[in-house]
Structure 1
Amino acid sequence: MNNLDALFYQNQQPMWVYAINSLLILEVNEAAIKRYGYSREEFIGKSTRDLRPVEDIHLLEEILNSKEPKDIYESEFRHVTKSGAIFHVEIQAYDIAYNDIPAKLIQAQCIEAKKDIQGKLQLTESKLNRLLDSTTIGFYQLDPNGNITYWNNAAEKLLGYNREYVLGKNIWDVFPEAVHSDFYTYIEKACTHKINVEFTEYFWPIQRWFFTNAYPGEDGILVHFRDVTHIKLAQEVLLEKIEQLKEISFLNSHYIRKPVASLLGLTNLIKDNVIRPEEFKEIAEQVQACSYELDDVIKTINKKVNDGDGLKELAFEMAEFCINDLLKDVICDYKNTHPTHRVVFKASANIMYYGSKHGIRVAVENLLDNAIKFSPYADHVVLTLSKVNQNAVVSVQDFGEGIDSRVLNKIFLGFIKRDVSRELGEGLAKVSTVTRRHHGNVWVESRPGKGTVFSVRLPLSTMSAIKAGIKTDCNSYRDPGLEITYDEENKYLRMDWRGFLSLHTIKAGCLKLCDLLKKHDCKMVLNNNANVMGSWEDAAEWVGKECFPMLEEAGLQFLAWAYSPSTFSRLSADMAIRALKGNVVIKTFNDKDEARQWLEEVGKAVYIDQD
């Protein structure tokens, strides 16, 4: 009895016992009498239903009618006192036998304070959500698996997807095109290492720069980001203006001074009566020639200023459009403006695109102008559109004399270096600017006497497909375009690249190769670029200066490099090899079988010496 007295009658929490069959209360402690306001006589014999508000009795009935009997259960309810005051309780119920009657022992803990705190927290959370939804800073939250659990209004406006679409989806399924980018690298770093990261990166599908912070927490990571495109654009414009001023200063000091000095000299001759009357005509012709020369220089300066100002406006008006329709519109205009040449259009696919319609139009028009200019003896040029590995490829073919290797090298460098690009002319500079802002690139294939083909690669994002209601394959965006196999017999690793390469895909391939070199204790690699298209000039210097030292440290000694048939890919490879720092022996080949044979011969010598 002493134990019962201590555990039940003297317990500070309200407790009572009720019969399971009748629900009538059989016994009650002093704490329950005080809390509920009934006397002991009133409590005994009362139904446990009477302790609940009428509208909540069905909740008790649901538990009583449950087909899963429990010896102990816990739950939250609302209870009511004798005076009618309603409060929240947390109930713990235990099966017991009371005087041989099947019964339940109930302990009721008041949780009003807890509920009050929860209410305040919910109110605070509601206010925080309203604040997050009203800010111009984008917020989203990821669970430990990378699924989106929160997405505010600013994220909708900045990135284009509403929260109903993204909630519950994996972030890399929503933005698969970001997998091979710094966005993926930094966010995964925050998730994996549980550290704060911040970075500024260009998100090419919408052509905006974002400053991003990622904070890890118990439930995943919280990411907030803001648009800093205006800052980046201002920096770009400032650099452009500085380069313009340098060029204008150069033109002023080297080209304007000559005709001006000539005009001053000629007019002084007239003013000082040095010339004879019969020489006036000759002097007038010289004055006119100097004036024409001066006018040409001034026009050149004005064109550089106007064209430079126009570059920054090329790619910031984003829209969804059909590339086929855009190209047909351009061709229609060229029928009137360029009657000497027909534009033959060939399209292997109908492609919806999300990007700068005006910018792409300017790029295509400049390529067509260039093709017509260098096809003086032909009556047509060819405009081709195709879809290759989630990329729209626009090509313009002329039928001129072709471009020699020296000029091709200059064009290649012009697409990499700003100072060299100016020497190519404003037309190709605009093409380079447009493609760079669309995360694409430009390359050229040319044969002397056979003509030239300029090609532009425009990566396709998921945005245009989703806007058009087209289902996309996210895995195609994640594919790095690389397969690495180990030749057990000849003891070398073979890298088979395909499609278009970028700095991030090449970095990923390099790191994977390092691991495999160590795993197989391998010294030789066959690098097959036979199926690589276009250019990867943005990664060439990194490959030579960073990648090869890592590979050499991992054990690489000999590398057979099979060239791509693409001219600019070959030039990218040559640039990487020239930048090589280290002692890796590299030999290049036009044919992958020749590369394999050389490597196998080297392997025999290497491994025989070891034996």
Structure 2
Amino acid sequence: MSLPEFNEQVAELEKLRQEVARLKEEKERLALETAVHKAILETNADTLLSGLEQFKLIADNVPAQVWTADAEGSVDYYNKRYFEYSGLTSEESIGWGWQPMLHPDDLQRTIENWTRSVKKGAPYEIQYRFKRASDGAFRWHLGKAIPLKDSNGKVIKWFGTNMDIHEQKVAEKQKDEFLSIASHELKTPLTSVKAFLQLGQKMIAPDTKAYSFVSKASSQLIRLESLISDLLDVSKINAGKMVYNLEPFEFGAALREAVESVQQANEKHQIIIEHNDDVVYNGDRLRIEQVINNFLVNAIKYSPDADKIVVRSEVQQNNIVVSVQDFGIGIAAENLTRLFDRYYRVDNTSMRFQGLGLGIFISSEIIKRHNGSFWIESEPGKGSTFFFLLPISGKHELIDLETDNQTFYKGNFIEMKYVPEQQWLDVNWLGYQNLESVQKGCMIMLDLLQKNNCSKVLNDNTHVVGNWSEAADWGGEYWFPAMQDAGLKHFAWIYSLSTFSRMSAHKSIDITMGKVTAQFFTEIEEARRWLSEAD
């Protein structure tokens, strides 16, 4: 390959970088519009109902379609933006008249989701294609709505918005197509360039300046090769074509080899394996090593002033739990979950550290496909610890240990009992949780609450670790409303030490939900006092 041809391929990669930057600007614009819609949706119900004409005046001047519905989900108001877009009259639109405007492929799904939200009184969110009257085009929209409830927890009104996200969806699709094409096109010439550089190193004397130049070019080529591999993986994930070859392997040996490989290329940082349990695991060894490698490379990259990385691998509760700890710049709590987004990197780190920010996204997808979980503990200025968990059996094992099916239950993941003196349920969650364990534990809690006719719960998360965020939406949309219907009035939640667990808790629950009053605590005794004094 000639130098001009190589430069042309590098220019293609630069186009890719520019496309990522453009998409970031589009995402920021969308975030601004979303903030406007959120302000509308979260406006106090009494304020809206007492000043409905003022609300309609505001709604007619925002860059979104705004609508309201009655308690049964029948739409009773649209703003001007909706009529301009749809071309329908008020008489044609009111009630369930919006259905003919939806793309046929999205109609049934939308009706089912809306009906489910109305029935449960839970927030509504969906993406669908909505027909534009001016040209008959179906454009992607993000529909959102929240229920406004009275003091008894009864839904009295729905307030919703439809936001046009078509340009973003098109940009996402174009970007994904570009990623796939660009990464494949770059990989072939890259292999040739790499081979020529290796030949050049063999032909040039090691003590010459030319050899130094070729060596530097080779190291840059390795970085470019890594970027292209990440792009290929992302395109495979987006297309659902990532292949996993599951076979038994010695996990401890795989960890040691991954650490040795990274250590050889990094002299400044010492990678210390403090603990490494030997266990046979059935999974895709190369993909798991890819995750470990990504954790290690990130730890080195984001701790430039430190000189060590600490790695641990332990068997806990029939799970392999791996952690990689650095002593670098750290991450603020509000930025932790955003790391799972493609191309996202915290604050201004993109100005300091090179890369496209794809590694965490890819690693998260690999761990999910192994039925595992992934979380981070971090403190700005002190460093970060990246964790991942893999169930040795391939799934989270939930074991029933003891119960009378009336006043108490004990399992390997949760313990609970009814305390008649206090008339509350005392609940203690144990260890690592996921969607399955949270759902099972919560449904047992609901059953005991109903059987003992109590209205208070002491929910202790002190011993919870890891990441159960996949269950947060279920808890907020289904379980808490069910608990309220069963008579729950006061819910004391003792925090876990895990940042991700705390974030999941806040996502699951509002401080006040209809007839339920909930409060977070850091000390169990303080929670008990609050619950004892609650009426």
Query: Which AA in structure 2 matches 1:307?
Result: D
Please list every run of 5 or more consecutive structure 1 residues that lacks an aligned counterpart in the other structure.
1-239, 253-297, 415-419, 464-471, 607-611
Which residue is 1:561 aligned to?
Answer: 493
Q: Judging changes above 3 Å, is the alpha-carbon distance between structure 1 residues 304 and 439 closer, same or farther for their aligned structure 2 residues?
A: closer
Q: Judging changes above 3 Å, is the alpha-carbon distance between structure 1 residues 310 and 545 closer, same or farther for their aligned structure 2 residues?
A: closer
Match of 1:490 among 419, 422, 431: 422
Q: Judging changes above 3 Å, is the alpha-carbon distance between structure 1 residues 361 and 348 closer, same or farther for their aligned structure 2 residues?
A: closer
Secondary structure of 1:445 counterpart: strand
Partner Cα separation in structure 2 for residue 241 and residue 338 of structure 1: 41
Contact 1:387–1:393 (Cα < 8 Å) also in 2: yes
Which residue is 2:133 aligned to?
Answer: none
Partner Cα separation in structure 1 for residue 457 and residue 392 of structure 2: 32
Match of 2:336 among 388, 408, 427: 408
Tell me the alpha carbon deviations over residues 111-167 of structure 1, each in whole angstroms, 9 at most, x when there is no partner.
Answer: xxxxxxxxxxxxxxxxxxxxxxxxxxxxxxxxxxxxxxxxxxxxxxxxxxxxxxxxx
Matched, 1:597 2:525: no
Query: Which AA in structure 2 matches 1:306?
Result: L
Partner Cα separation in structure 2 for residue 401 and residue 319 of structure 1: 37
Partner Cα separation in structure 2 for residue 360 and residue 496 of structure 1: 33
Secondary structure of 2:271 counterpart: strand
Tell me the alpha carbon deviations over residues 330-352 of structure 1, each in whole angstroms, 9 at most, x when there is no partner.
Answer: 12212321222121012252221
- The Cα of 1:423 is off from its aligned counterpart by 2.5
- The Cα of 1:449 is off from its aligned counterpart by 2.3
Which residue is 1:545 aligned to?
Answer: 477
- The Cα of 1:408 is off from its aligned counterpart by 1.9
Partner Cα separation in structure 2 for residue 474 and residue 309 of structure 1: 39
Partner Cα separation in structure 2 for residue 299 and residue 354 of structure 1: 29
Query: What's the C-alpha RMSD, in Å, of the aligned pairs?
Result: 3.3
Secondary structure of 1:338 counterpart: coil
Tell me the alpha carbon deviations over residues 252-297 of structure 1, each in whole angstroms, 9 at most, x when there is no partner.
Answer: 9xxxxxxxxxxxxxxxxxxxxxxxxxxxxxxxxxxxxxxxxxxxxx
Partner Cα separation in structure 1 for residue 308 and residue 361 of structure 2: 24
Query: Which AA in structure 1 matches 2:234?
Result: G
Q: Judging changes above 3 Å, is the alpha-carbon distance between structure 1 residues 410 and 495 closer, same or farther for their aligned structure 2 residues?
A: same
Which residue is 1:522 aligned to?
Answer: 454
Which residue is 2:233 aligned to?
Answer: 307
Secondary structure of 1:423 counterpart: coil
Q: Judging changes above 3 Å, is the alpha-carbon distance between structure 1 residues 318 and 551 closer, same or farther for their aligned structure 2 residues?
A: same
Which residue is 1:112 aligned to?
Answer: none
Partner Cα separation in structure 2 for residue 359 and residue 299 of structure 1: 17
Partner Cα separation in structure 2 for residue 299 and residue 579 of structure 1: 49
Partner Cα separation in structure 2 for residue 242 and residue 436 of structure 1: 26
Contact 1:321–1:357 (Cα < 8 Å) also in 2: yes
Query: Which AA in structure 1 matches 2:263?
Result: K
Larger Rg: 1
Query: Which AA in structure 1 matches 2:268?
Result: T
Identity fraction in percent? 33
Please list every run of 5 or more consecutive structure 2 residues that lacks an aligned counterpart in the other structure.
1-168, 182-223, 346-356, 402-409
Which residue is 1:574 aligned to?
Answer: 506
Partner Cα separation in structure 2 for residue 506 and residue 594 of structure 1: 24
Contact 2:398–2:412 (Cα < 8 Å) also in 1: no
**1:414-453 counterparts in 2 under 5 A?**
414=340, 420-424=341-345, 425-453=357-385
Contact 1:527–1:562 (Cα < 8 Å) also in 2: yes
**1:312-461 counterparts in 2 under 5 A?**
316-347=244-275, 349-411=277-339, 414=340, 420-424=341-345, 425-461=357-393
Which residue is 1:108 aligned to?
Answer: none
**1:201-240 counterparts in 2 under 5 A?**
none
Contact 1:244–1:304 (Cα < 8 Å) also in 2: no
Moved more, 383-392 or 401-410: 401-410
Partner Cα separation in structure 2 for residue 359 and residue 484 of structure 1: 39
Partner Cα separation in structure 2 for residue 560 and residue 506 of structure 1: 17
Contact 1:544–1:580 (Cα < 8 Å) also in 2: no
Secondary structure of 1:396 counterpart: strand
Q: Judging changes above 3 Å, is the alpha-carbon distance between structure 1 residues 314 and 246 closer, same or farther for their aligned structure 2 residues?
A: closer
Q: Judging changes above 3 Å, is the alpha-carbon distance between structure 1 residues 302 and 359 closer, same or farther for their aligned structure 2 residues?
A: closer
Paired residues in the alignment total 303
Partner Cα separation in structure 2 for residue 339 and residue 574 of structure 1: 42
Contact 2:262–2:296 (Cα < 8 Å) also in 1: no
**1:94-109 counterparts in 2 under 5 A?**
none
Q: Judging changes above 3 Å, is the alpha-carbon distance between structure 1 residues 302 and 505 closer, same or farther for their aligned structure 2 residues?
A: closer
Partner Cα separation in structure 1 for residue 378 and residue 441 of structure 2: 30
Match of 1:245 among 160, 174, 177: 174
- The Cα of 1:241 is off from its aligned counterpart by 11
Q: Judging changes above 3 Å, is the alpha-carbon distance between structure 1 residues 328 and 539 closer, same or farther for their aligned structure 2 residues?
A: same
Secondary structure of 2:344 counterpart: helix
Q: Judging changes above 3 Å, is the alpha-carbon distance between structure 1 residues 544 and 475 closer, same or farther for their aligned structure 2 residues?
A: closer
- The Cα of 1:591 is off from its aligned counterpart by 1.7
Higher relative contact order (CA 8 A, sep 6+): 2
Contact 2:475–2:508 (Cα < 8 Å) also in 1: yes
- The Cα of 1:546 is off from its aligned counterpart by 0.3
